[in-house]
Chain A
Amino acid sequence: MAANRKIQSAAVRFGPLLKAFLLCLLLGGSGIGFVWQKQQIHQLGLQIKQLETTLAGHRAANRQRADTLAYQRSPRALDARVRELNLGLMPPRPENILRLSEPSSAAVTQRAEPPSPPSGGALARK
């Protein structure tokens, strides 16, 4: 009887309750986690798509600018611009170019050697 008194059947059994709660939490958490993860994947997918669209836009703009640059650098456009600004620019004529001839290797070697002492130096040492 003493043993029966110890067992209080009417009392709340926390063990199974806790287990049930944890199981529900696990199941609920898994469900919520699954939905959250799906939502994240979806959101990230949308972001990827948006970034891809932006990248494509930048590439398109880049090509557009490369085309504009190529047009502005084309000889015909440069000629037209020079005429429009009336700067009097023209390619240098041969007489405007100062050409420096490269010295021969013998001349360079000769210039690099230290100057020989004057003939009077030896006399002075004497």
Chain B
Amino acid sequence: MGLALLLALALGALGWRLVDLQVIRHEELSALARSNTRRVLVREPRRGEIRDIRGNLLATTLPVFTVCCDPTLLGDRHTEMARVLAPLLKTNETFLIGKLKPRVVRQADNGEPVFDKHVVLKHKVRVEEWARIQSALTNQSFGFASAKPTRAERTQLLNLRHKAIFTEDDQLRVYPSQALAAHVLGYVGAGDDGEMIGVEGIERLFNSKLNGVRGWLATEKDRRGRELVSLRHQDVEPRDGLNVVLTIDAGLQHIVESELIEAMKKHTPVSVSATVVRPRTGEIMAMATLPNFDPNQPGAFPADSRRNRVVMDQHEPGSTFKIVVVSGALNDRTVSLADRFDCEHGRFIYAGRALSDHESYGMLSVESIITKSSNIGAAKVGIKMGEPSLYKYIHDFGFGQRTGIQIPGEISGTVHPLSRWNKLSISRIPMGHEMDATPLQMVMAMSAIANQGRLMRPAIVSRLEDAEGRVASEFRPETIRQVISAEAARQMVTALKTVVSPEGTAVKAKLDLYTVAGKTGTAQKAGHGGYLPGKYFSSFIGFFPADKPELCISVVFDEPKVGGYYGGQTAAPVFKNIAERAANYLNIPPERHVSAIVPAGKLHAKISGGSAVR
């Protein structure tokens, strides 16, 4: 009887346990069972590439690993493990031992203390480095020297070799051309959840397009952690980011940057910038600023080096701005190229203040005002034109407003409204004082003259395309406005051609095979409390071939210290070097015959089995 009762009680207890497990705690236990096997893995998209107009890779993404460790699987072998890993991970052994020791942490959800099973040892480990680590671990004995290890020793060895150190997928942004076009490309940083975020340049502006869309994988794993592919519930592929194709030409960019490096050595300025534009379309073919930086390691360079001065710096443009006032006056027919102005022999008193020229000039035609870069002449043209008209052309040429280039951080420059102009303004603004412009605004204004008076929106991105090369979005040339008539632009080109003549200010910008039109500029640098003595911005902006322009090039020096400070002395030779190499690289047909620069009989060409002499 007693036994029967005992059995009944036992059976009842078992029955109760069954009900408890299967009915009362059903939800909780089934969720626990699911959590043991089910996994939802996020599938990161690949960040899109940045390419130049010829398809050369400028920025790409490589798959890398984050190397992690589960210290609970190391046992007492963390010192041995640190000794193996330290040289491979290029870290300090003592630091690594500290990381590999088991540590108690509190769980985020319920605060229970548990051993930390996920310690990050190193981020951004390349695939081949991880292969070396795996190989080294597989061949290590970790101090287990006995020929016949026990079962426990075998398990620990297996853990040490294959389980304790593991990886997680990660991505690394790589710029194969290093500092080339660094200010245009920008660089990336890490977001809150570890994803790449563009910090500057194209990387920042097109971050959402480059990033792509995450996918996910809902699946189950077996006891050994292997995925059970047949039990995949959801498999959503990530959508990779779009590739950004720039209008930049890497070859031309290299030409510009190498010439700027030479100029930097020769004149030791604070900085030097250059921009190459195709005037017909407004496409930026090269944009460079020195000092620059390597976007692979942006943190290793000072913030000043990372600033794109072409769009983020503004200063008084100086005499290059005379193109605006003279173009406007020609367009309004206020003056003609042949009209003559008295340049007062270098000293002109206006509104009680003296205005001077760098040389003494008497009567000069409008064309000669440009050729000689006479401040007094330009001021007199401006005065004849009138304030409202001058202000209109300043606005129409795009000053005081952003150009709209696809680079973040562009500033608008400073143009005071007419209501804030004083009596002197009309005599100072025509020579590029009392207002600030970015180098990009200046080169676009010059490009408008080269482009028959049409101001184009500067473009640096040609198109967005997917990995297969299908175009997702295309950026076509955009005309902002017709600033001056084609006839006024033609007259202006005629005047600008004389600047590189022996009588002009930029004879060093003259090209042997092409006609150049351009303008020099030298502006005193402003600081706190006025102009800084001995500190100048010097520049040259020119285009060629003058009557059918292919390229417009701007070169701007900030504080050249050696070899003169005039634009004609510093920037003009750099323009010439860039223009000659660019014309050669782009195969722009020369306007003049080659014999103009090479003595007769010296030209040899070898053609299939013979030679020709011109």
**A107–B602 alpha-carbon span in the complex (Å):** 30
Across the interface, A94 reaches (CB within 8 A) one of B56, B62, B513, namely: B513
Indicate if the CB atoms of B180 and A67 lie closer than 8 Å: no
For A61, the closest partner residue in chain B by CB is B127
Residues of B within 8 A of A59 (CB): 63
- Least CB distance, B38 to chain A, in whole angstroms: 16
Contacts of A63 in B (CB 8 A): 60-63
Docked Cα-Cα span, A76 to B250, in Å, equals: 10
CB of A44, distance to nearest CB on chain B (Å) = 8
Encoded as 1 (CB less than 8 Å from any B CB) or 0, chain A from 67 to 78 comes to 100110111100
* Chain A residues within 8 Å of B594, by CB: 94-95, 97
Closest to A94 in B: B594
- Structural contact, B177 and A60, CB atoms closer than 8 A: no
A122 to B207, CA, bound (A): 82
- What CA separation (Å) do A39 and B512 show in the bound complex? 80
**Which of B57, B226, B229, B581 counts the most A-chain CB atoms under 10 A from its CB?**
B229
Q: How far is the CA of A25 from the CA of B174 in the complex (A)?
A: 63
Question: Do B229 and A46 touch (CB < 8 A)?
Answer: yes
User: Does B15 touch A at the CB level, under 8 Å?
Assistant: no
Interface membership of A83, Cβ < 8 A: no
- Which listed residue (B62, B230, B585) contacts A91, Cβ 8 A? B585
Interfacial residues of chain A within 41-69, with CB under 8 A of chain B in the complex: 41-42, 44-46, 48-49, 56-57, 59-61, 63-64, 66-67
**Is B589 interfacial (CB-CB < 8 Å)?**
yes
Q: Which parts of B599-614 form the interface with A (CB within 8 Å)?
A: 602-603, 605, 607, 612
A41's closest neighbor in chain B, by CB? B230
Across the interface, do A74 and B180 meet the contact criterion of CB distance under 8 Å? yes
In the complex, the chain B residue whose C-beta lies closest to that of A56 is B63
CB contact between A95 and one of B127, B177, B589, B603 (< 8 Å): that residue: B603
Question: What chain A residues lie within 8 Å of B60 (beta carbons)?
Answer: 63, 66-67, 70
Q: Which residue on B lies nearest to A48, using beta carbons?
A: B229
Query: Is A92 engaged at the interface, CB distance under 8 Å to the other chain?
Result: yes
Is B63 within 8 A of A67, CB to CB? no
A91 touching B612 by the CB < 8 A rule?
A: no
Interface residues on B, range: 35 or more
Selected contact of B229 from candidates A45, A67, A79, A94, CB within 8 Å: A45
Please tell me if B35 contacts chain A, counting CB pairs below 8 Å: no
Compute how far the CA of A79 lies from the CA of B254 in the bound complex, rounded to whole angstroms.
10
Asked if B230 and A94 make an inter-chain contact with CB atoms under 8 angstroms apart, the answer reads: no
B550 within 8 Å of A by Cβ?
no
B138 at the interface (CB under 8 A from A): no
Q: Nearest-CB distance from A12 to chain B (Å)?
A: 45
| Interface range, A side | 20 to 34
**Interface membership of chain B positions 552-594, coded 1 if the CB is closer than 8 angstroms to chain A and 0 otherwise:** 0000000000000000000000000000010011000110001
Complex Cα distance, B61 from A93, in Å, reads: 38
Interface pair A98/B597, CB less than 8 Å apart:
no
Which positions 243-291 of chain B face chain A at CB distance < 8 Å?
A: 250-251, 253-254, 258
Q: When A67-B57, A70-B57, A91-B581 are in contact, do A45 and B228 touch as well, CB less than 8 Å?
A: yes
Q: Is A6 an interface position by the 8 A CB rule?
A: no
Which A-chain residue is minimally distant from B258 (CB atoms)?
A79
State A76–B176 Cα separation when bound (angstroms).
Answer: 10
Q: How many A-B residue pairs have CB under 8 A?
A: 84
User: Chain A: which residue is nearest B58 at the CB level?
Assistant: A70
B227 at the interface (CB under 8 A from A): yes
Q: Which of B174, B228, B607 contacts A98, CB < 8 Å?
A: B607
CA distance in complex: A92, B254 (Å): 17
- Are A42 and B230 in contact, CB atoms less than 8 angstroms apart? yes
The reply on A99 being an interface residue by CB < 8 A is yes
CB proximity of B60 to chain A, nearest CB, Å:
6
Q: How far is the CB of B217 from chain A (nearest CB, A)?
A: 10
B63 close to A75 (CB less than 8 A): no
List B contacts of A93 (CB < 8 A).
584
Cβ 8 A contact of B63, one of A46, A60, A76 = A60
Which of A49, A56, A71 contacts B226, CB < 8 Å?
A49
Q: CA of A13 to CA of B192 in the docked complex: distance in angstroms?
A: 79
Q: Which of chain A's residues 30-45 have a Cβ closer than 8 Å to chain B? A: 41-42, 44-45
CB of A92 within 8 A of CB of B178, answer no
- Residues B176 and A91 in contact, CB atoms below 8 Å apart: no
Taking the complex as formed, is B104 at the interface, i.e. its CB lies under 8 A from any CB of chain A? no
Interface centre among B62, B226, B230, B258 (most CB of A within 10 A): B230
Cα-based distance from A74 to B253 in the complex (angstroms): 11
A75 and B597 form a contact (CB under 8 A): no
Given the interface pairs A60-B63, A94-B594, the reply to whether A76 lies near B178 with Cβ below 8 Å is yes
| Residue of A48, A57, A74, A79 with highest tally of chain B CB at under 10 A | A74
Report B225 CB to chain A, min CB distance, Å. Answer: 12
CB-based contact A75/B177 at 8 Å: yes
Chain B residues contacting A99 (CB-CB under 8 Å) are: 589
Could you tell me which residues of chain B, from 473 to 523, have a CB within 8 Å of some CB in chain A? 512-513
**A contact residues vs B (CB 8 Å cutoff):** 41-42, 44-46, 48-49, 56-57, 59-61, 63-64, 66-67, 70-71, 73-76, 79, 91-95, 97-99
A-B residue pairs in contact (CB < 8 Å), sample of 10: A42-B230, A56-B63, A63-B60, A67-B176, A70-B57, A74-B250, A75-B253, A91-B585, A94-B584, A95-B597
Closest 5 pairs (CB-CB, A-B): A45-B229, A75-B254, A70-B57, A70-B176, A74-B177
Task: A67-B174, A70-B177 given; name 15 further pairs at CB < 8 Å.
Answer: A45-B228, A49-B227, A49-B229, A60-B127, A63-B63, A66-B60, A71-B176, A73-B56, A74-B176, A74-B180, A75-B180, A76-B178, A94-B590, A95-B598, A98-B612
